[in-house]
């Protein structure tokens, strides 16, 4: 394991103090009291997240998929101000046409980057939750049969998944996050996204994976906690 959890003894009191301050000052989010540290480099992170983009659909049985599937783990770098605009760093990435290889690597990578240190850490991957649902259920059945259903791979769709211009939205999210003027995402020495960004094609799996994750992180600020008073919120629609 390459990550350790830093949880100070006063974390509950610190969390309450930060939440109270956020409510008083009208801030929608506040910094979590715990964080993570890279054992090898000492770099610290507010949180880490995983993403997956499945291989392209095969349209001709005599041809291999156009682009392999893609998975990555991204860390939200701590000690940058303001916290809500913290930069993102790719910790590790992997690509393959083989679904089982992707499943195996998702398990290996999350264990490498701290899975189990905190209940929320790398619990859910961002990606298309409908594709390969049967294959994933069979894979997860191994965890169930060995009495560890909590280790099953869970996948949740990114924000705005399925909208007509989804690929355009996610591509722009990646491009803007890598632009030198608005940079939020850093390669961290990894090369798969760096190479594929030069030749993005429509429906490239990396767009759903990394693009969907970056887009969702910027919208949700998931590495922070929401400051909410005890009030009822009525949402529009049914």
CA distance 139 to 214: 27
182 within a domain of the structure (yes/no): yes
| 206 within some domain | yes
CATH assignment of the domain containing 105: 3.30.420
- The count of structural domains within the chain is 1
Strands 185-186 and 88-96: parallel
What's the pLDDT tens digit per position in 190-237?
999 999 887 767 778 999 999 999 999 999 999 998 887 543 333 333
Q: What's the pLDDT tens digit per position in 118-165?
A: 999 999 999 999 999 999 999 999 999 888 888 999 999 999 999 999
233 occurs within a structural domain: no
0.85 exceeded by the pTM?
A: yes
Residue 238 domain flag = no
Secondary structure of the chain in the HEC alphabet?
CCEEEECCCCHHHHHHHHHHHHHHHCCCEEECCCEEEECCCCCEEEEEEEEEECCCCCCCCCCCCCCCEEEEEEEEECCCCCHHHCCEEEEEEEEECCHHHHHHHHHHHHHHCCCCCCCCCCCEEECCCCCCHHHHHHHHHHHHHCCCHHHCCEEECCCCCCCCCHHHHHHHHHHHHHCCCCCCEECCCCCHHHHHHHHCCCCCHHHHHHHHHHHHHHHHCCCEEECCCCCCCCCCCC
Domain coverage including residue 214: 3-226
Q: What is the pLDDT of residues 91-129, one digit of tens each?
A: 999 999 999 999 999 999 999 999 999 999 999 999 999
d(CA 201, CA 38): 34
């Amino acid at each position: 394991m390459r990550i350790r959890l830093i949880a100070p003894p006063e974390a509950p009191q610190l969390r309450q103090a930060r939440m109270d301050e956020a409510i008083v000052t009208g801030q929608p989010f506040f910094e979590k009291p715990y964080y993570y540290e890279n054992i090898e480099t000492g770099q610290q992170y507010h949180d880490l997240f995983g993403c997956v983009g499945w291989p392209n659909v095969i349209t001709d049985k005599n041809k291999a998929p156009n682009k392999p599937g893609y998975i990555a783990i991204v860390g939200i770098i701590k000690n940058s101000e303001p916290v809500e605009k913290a930069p993102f760093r790719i910790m590790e990435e992997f690509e393959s046409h083989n679904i089982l290889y992707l499943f195996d690597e998702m398990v290996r990578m999350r264990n490498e980057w701290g899975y189990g240190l905190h209940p929320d850490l790398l619990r859910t991957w961002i990606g298309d939750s409908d594709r390969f649902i049967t294959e994933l259920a069979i894979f997860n059945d191994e965890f169930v049969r060995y009495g560890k259903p909590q280790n099953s791979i869970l996948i949740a769709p990114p924000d705005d998944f399925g909208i007509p211009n989804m690929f355009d939205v996610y591509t722009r999210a990646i491009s803007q996050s890598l632009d030198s003027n608005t940079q939020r995402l850093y390669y961290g020495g990894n090369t798969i996204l760096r190479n594929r960004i030069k030749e993005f094609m429509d429906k490239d799996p990396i767009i759903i994976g990394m693009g969907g994750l970056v887009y969702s992180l910027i919208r949700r600020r998931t590495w922070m906690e929401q400051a909410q008073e005890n009030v009822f919120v009525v949402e529009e629609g049914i």
